[in-house]
Amino acid sequence: MRLHYLTLFLLLVPLELSIIYGLSTLGNVPKKSFKPLLPPEALLSIGHYHTTCPDTEGIISQKVAAWVKKDPTLAPAIIRLHFHDCAVRDHLYKMVVITVMLLGPKLTSGLKIGSHGFGAKGCKRCKRVMDLVHLDVITPRTFDTTYYTNLMRKVGLLSTDQSLFSDARTAPFVEAFATQPFLFTSQFSVSMVKLGNVHVLTRPNEGEIRVNCNYVNTV
């Protein structure tokens, strides 16, 4: 029964993305004095480039799928790129040189560590410094829920990962994802979207649409 309620909770989480924050009226101040304050992610939309480049999302999806088919290491690399590119706080962004080149497909092909369902970690006890140990020793090259099964079997590689199952607050999530693969894949997608919404810059003069995806625009 615990998993049943947990599943319901996880499926309801995406609803918070649709919440619109507004200011209520105060005293005798007219309503028109207040403008609804939308969260930045509310200004994002699929089809933004419909007039300038129809089927943008479809084209990108096809290209990424083709790249990953040729080089499977791009899958975790793109996830890693997504994190570093989307989850940067404002003060960190200002410290970056404006012309810094962001990692592109060719440069990220060697980055093997993405989500912990696949990838590798450096081993200090190994004979060679460059030796890596798979985060998932059972299915190291497959993005599946075996990672969570390993945690339940207490064979997680990293202590920080294994603590997800030893902590009573997060153990139910590990159990749910280990036994319900579809739940994991659907929630992983939701999480990636939420990650992309972190401190997203959408309002006038706050963000930019890059002329070249590999670089931030010059001032």
Q: Is 144 annotated as a binding residue?
A: yes
131 is in an annotated binding site: no
Q: Which of 150, 213, 219, 205 is nearest to 178 (CA)?
A: 150
Q: Are 62 and 175 in contact (CB under 8 A)?
A: no
The DSSP output letter for 194 is H
Residue 161 annotated as part of some ligand binding site: no
**Tokens linked to 102:** 């962001």
Residue found under tokens 């207490």: 154
Note whether 200 and 207 are within 8 A (CB): yes
> Could you tell me if 79 and 114 are in contact, meaning their C-beta atoms sit under 8 angstroms apart?
yes
Question: Which H or E element spans position 159?
Answer: helix 159-166
Residue 46: CB atoms within 10 A of its CB come to: 8
- Degrees, nearest 5: CA angle 195-163-197: 5
- Binding-site residues sit at 136, 139, 144
- Binding-site residues for Ca(2+) sit at 136, 139, 144
